[in-house]
Structure 1
Amino acid sequence: MSTHGRSLAAVVEDAAKTLADAGMWAPREDAERLVAHAVAGRAGARLPGDLPVSDEAFARLGELLARRAAHEPVEYLTGRAVLGGVEVAVGPGVFIPRKHTEPLLAWGLEVLREVAEPTAVDLCTGSAAIALAVAHARPTASVHAVELDPTALRWARRNADRQATQGDTPIVLHTADVTDPALLRDLDGSVDLLLANPPFVVEGTVLPPEWQEHQPWPALFSGADGLVVIRAVVAAAARLLRPGGGVAIEHDDEQAEPVMALLRAQGVFTGIGYGVDHWDTPRYTTARRK
């Protein structure tokens, strides 16, 4: 197992330069995750900088860097993403959870703070990351997750099974259409929290290759104004939430006002406002059921 004197720190530096030259927007972060994955098999592994890098790991890294330089998402390359402290498996065919969603999750958990045995719903669950993060943080919660796409559902089931085997309270997965007016009818008026990271991109928008070429279009695009699914989410929240229950919906940075208008039009919400992500960009809108 020859290393030819390559230390992990030096390999990370070279990898970051390679990705910067390829125009990646977070070359250092990507390099650290890919090097850790190539060396230890885990993108989040903490490794000493003087650790020698074997020829085999170096060859694996070269393949990963070439794929990343071609705009394949890091999460697909490593097979993992993290939200709310929960690791989920991801790959082609399922939307990648992003740290943009952490503030939405934090808001939702605050809504549940005083509820002993809450009921929560995650619409457009994808990998089930949001639902599993809620169940992880609140073991006494009953968490329902809704997804229609069969490929995404396979990832969601895989992740749900894994978290359950690790001791988290199992979530309830529903194969259903979020735009169905009868969605989760048995829960009408009983839900404490409804969260959603729905598709919200305007049809015809050209996205960066990481999304346009690699991630599933049904999880991205939502009609001529980007609000088709969000309208259904708002209607579902008006019906499902109990008085005092909270809803948070992720959206594009220019959609806060339209989403707030949709919530106001229902006539049943109060405290309507929006929150920002780690870039201080309007990213999600919240409200409470009157």
Structure 2
Amino acid sequence: MNSDLSGTSPANHLEAPAQPLRYSAFTNDPAGGNPAGVVLDASGLDDEAMLRIAAEVGYSETAFITDRVEASRRFRVRYFSPLTEVAFCGHATVALAAAIADRLGPGEIVLDTRAGEVPVTTTVDGDGVVSATLTSVPTRSRPALSTELDEALKALGWVPEDLDPALPPHVAFAGNDHLVLAVGSRERLADLDYDFDGLADVMRRHGWTTLLLLWRESPERFHARNPFPVGGVVEDPATGAAAASLGGYLRTLGLVTGPARITIRQGEDMGRPSDLLIDVDPQGTRTRVTGQAVRIV
């Protein structure tokens, strides 16, 4: 592999550093947001090697470029947590897009993921901070079954009365399945002390990647938390895939009646504040997710 080009002006080709890069997504502060690993050239790595690297990096996900066509800025990407591969990861996509923009310059790229094609647009502000907007695969959302809900609440240590009756439990999809549970107070959301192994078992049985736990401050602003025990991580401080699924959830419930921009605040209870923006069109099927990303040195 070639030497790291960070700190140089954008090149017309993507050279790969010898070690995984580290970026924090959905923040402009390396101490905030959700950190992700980025491997710009994984063409010679098999599944076992990528899983090993993801475990060594230690973040909730690491993105690996396994193939690319630089002339068209198109990249094949896979995502690994320390324990398993996931079909799609939003914060690692934002991190990867920032790493590409740092080297090739901002603009349009296309990622071919196991969940489907994900277009991403990057821009750079006056301070050199990259913003990325990804367009999710088509979303969908369905009411959670009573058995699914009962098992999840038991593992969380919650009761039905903790939930917001105006936002019913759903299983929402935007590349992965997420159980969406909205609570009635910010205090309930902040008090999260769940059964790690028990919840992981429930999630594996039902095929959920994370739980999207929400409190609605206003129609345009949500607070979120995302347990991720199936990936070997207690919680994600920013989850772009779950944010995309929220767009589908709100669309299915009829809670957006026109094109809407919604802010999601996440990571505060972990000391890693993160800001995610989603754009939802009730006439569409996809969600646009926007966030900044910065290099962790």
Q: TM-score, normalising length from structure 2?
A: 0.23
| Larger relative helix fraction | 1
Q: Which has the larger radius of gyration?
A: 1
Higher relative contact order (CA 8 A, sep 6+): 2
- Flag the structure with higher strand content: 2
